[in-house]
Amino acid sequence: MNQAIFVYATSFAVAAFVLYGAVRYFWRRPSAGGEASFGPPPPEVLVLGRTRVGVGRSLLIIEIEGRRLLLGSTAHHWTSLADLGAARHHEAGDSRGAIDAELSRAVEASRHRRGGRKP
């Protein structure tokens, strides 16, 4: 009876090590530095526009995984201010114009959701 428990424990340990090694081997992906990193590839982040709103403060519109986000940043802090919805691709132009257009669209949508009146 004691030998059976030892055989099962040894078999379980060997199977666990083989499974762990297989997962590490097949989950690798090459990185830019030449070293292998693990896990799914990181999402692509595109900075669509940036405007400074004070000393050390700025607003950014980024596109990640098909969504646009409005981010605020200071010297030591990042904040997600709004989810601007699905990305709409339009012609390349002035980044400040893109930020102004997205901000006005977000403000208008916010007013409409809250039942506010137009200025």
Q: Tell me the average pLDDT of the chain.
A: 76
Whether residues 31 and 77 fall in one domain:
no
Number of domains the chain contains: 2
Q: What number is the average pLDDT over the span 58-67? A: 85
Has residue 73 got a pLDDT over 70? yes
Whether residues 60 and 97 fall in one domain:
yes
Whether residues 11 and 58 fall in one domain:
no
Residue 13, domain extent: 2-38
Give the pLDDT of residue 12: 92
Q: What is the chain written as a DSSP string? A: -HHHHHHHHHHHHHHHHHHHHHHHHHTEEE-TTSSEEESSPPPPEEEEEEEEEETTEEEEEEEETTEEEEEEE-SS-EEEEEEEEE--------HHHHHHHHHHHHHHHHHHHHTPPP-
Whether residues 10 and 55 fall in one domain:
no
Has residue 44 got a pLDDT over 60? yes
User: 14 vs 66, which has greater pLDDT?
Assistant: 14
Q: What number is the average pLDDT over the span 65-93? A: 77
pTM of the model: 0.44
Whether residues 50 and 72 fall in one domain:
yes
Whether residues 60 and 27 fall in one domain:
no
